A = this chain, B = another copy of it.
Amino acid sequence: MRTTTSQAPTVHRSATLQSVAEATGVHRSTVARALDPGQSHRISAEVVERVRAEAQRQGYRRDQIAASLRTGKSRLIGVVIPDLANPAFATMLAAIEDRLAIDGYSMLVADGGGSSGALPIVEELMARRVDGLVLATATRDDPVLTACISAAIPTVLVNRREDALRVTSIAANDVGGMCLAVEHLVSLGHCEIAHVAGPIDMSTGVLRRRGFEDAMRQVNLDPSFVISATEYSRDAGRIAATQLLGRWPQATAIVAGNDLLALGTIQEIKHRGLSCPDDISVIGHNDMPLLDMVAPPLTTIDAEFARMGALAARALVAGIEAARTEPEVILTTPRLILRESTAAR
């Protein structure tokens, strides 16, 4: 507490344009103009100065809610993530936030992984009049996307493709990534290569599976050793690996639909008294944090989640601020991250 005569901002019942105007002896709209960098040049320097001083003294901050109501722009972006607790998405979220902040947007974050689906969540975001939406929920439930489109709200998809091209989507080149994985294993001498795929109701799950099958055919290998996990998690990976190893004990290499599935697969391999990579090579997808320190350090495909997040934010803001933008599919180029979970046959 200061007892001096100073000008500590008085923030009691918050300051408004009106309160600043009264204290300065000018009209509210004059205050608004004086405080707006884009308009203050139309106001006499002397008034601008007095207004600024008084605004500062009162601790005035423009009420974004009132401004939004008036202008119809909230400068708010809704971001729906399939699993907030997943470190890979944390990376993406950080990148989205970073980029949005640069453009002066704030981020309303919701977890779309709940039981009731993403639709109620998106509706809540719409009620809040978000200017745009980033959907990273990979489940291919079109009602959500349809709702966004019919409400005419700018939307981009991340980590998921929308080939109908109704909205722009940012994703890793899943097919290319699986090629990389298969080629790597083939170069190591593997022939019996299996796939623990992601859930079939997710865009990434089916795309990577297809990529795996294509890549296998291209090198004249049998692409049919595939089990789909029920969700992207270590447990689901372990369960899928159990089935897979039961059915095809001859497999010498497994490419997993994502890193968590790969980790679960490795657990199951160890559990059977086998070794990764000595008995079975495993390769993941996404390059989530900490993979370089797990045992064995996981060879994986870098899906560039951070970059995807930044690209998504950029594309979305562009779509909001431009009158019209054509939807497009932006694919990031996956890279093989070579670590120690894969070995020569």
Q: Does A164 contact B (CB under 8 A)?
A: no
Check A87–B11 contact: CB distance below 8 A.
no
Interface stretch, picked from A155-163, A204-212, A288-296, A322-330, is: A288-296
Q: Does A202 contact B (CB under 8 A)?
A: no
Check B128–A65 contact: CB distance below 8 A.
yes
Assuming the contacts A65-B69, A66-B69, A84-B90, asked whether A128 and B110 have C-beta atoms less than 8 A apart, the reply is no
Q: Please give the count of copies of this chain that the complex contains.
A: 2
Check B129–A64 contact: CB distance below 8 A.
yes
8 Å CB contacts to B: which residues of A132-151?
150-151
- Whose C-beta in chain B lies nearest to the C-beta of A9? B150
* Known A85-B94, A294-B295; further 16 A-B contacts with Cβ < 8 A: A61-B123, A62-B127, A63-B127, A64-B127, A65-B65, A65-B68, A65-B69, A66-B69, A84-B94, A85-B289, A90-B93, A106-B125, A109-B109, A293-B294, A294-B294, A295-B296
- Whose C-beta in chain B lies nearest to the C-beta of A106? B108
Check B87–A109 contact: CB distance below 8 A.
no
Minimum CB–CB distance from A298 to chain B (whole Å) comes to 9
Provide 17 A-B residue pairs closer than 8 Å at the C-beta atoms, listed in order of the A residue.
Answer: A59-B151, A61-B126, A63-B127, A65-B74, A85-B90, A85-B306, A87-B289, A97-B111, A101-B111, A106-B125, A106-B128, A107-B109, A263-B290, A290-B290, A290-B294, A293-B295, A295-B296
Assuming the contacts A101-B110, A107-B110, A111-B98, asked whether A87 and B127 have C-beta atoms less than 8 A apart, the reply is no
6 A-B pairs closest in CB distance: A295-B295, A90-B90, A84-B94, A87-B87, A85-B94, A293-B294
Q: Does A222 contact B (CB under 8 A)?
A: no
Check A85–B74 contact: CB distance below 8 A.
no
Complex formed: what's the CA distance from A124 to B101 in Å? Answer: 10
Complex contacts, A293 vs chain B, CB 8 Å = 263, 266-267, 294-295
Minimum CB–CB distance from A150 to chain B (whole Å) comes to 5
Q: Does A40 contact B (CB under 8 A)?
A: no
Check A128–B64 contact: CB distance below 8 A.
yes
Minimum CB–CB distance from A10 to chain B (whole Å) comes to 9
Complex formed: what's the CA distance from A306 to B85 in Å? Answer: 9
Complex formed: what's the CA distance from A83 to B90 in Å? Answer: 9
Q: Does A91 contact B (CB under 8 A)?
A: yes
Complex formed: what's the CA distance from A64 to B123 in Å? Answer: 11
Complex contacts, A101 vs chain B, CB 8 Å = 110-111, 114
Q: Which residue of A65, A68, A127 has the most chain B CB atoms within 10 A of its CB atom?
A: A65
8 Å CB contacts to B: which residues of A8-52?
9, 11, 14
Minimum CB–CB distance from A127 to chain B (whole Å) comes to 5
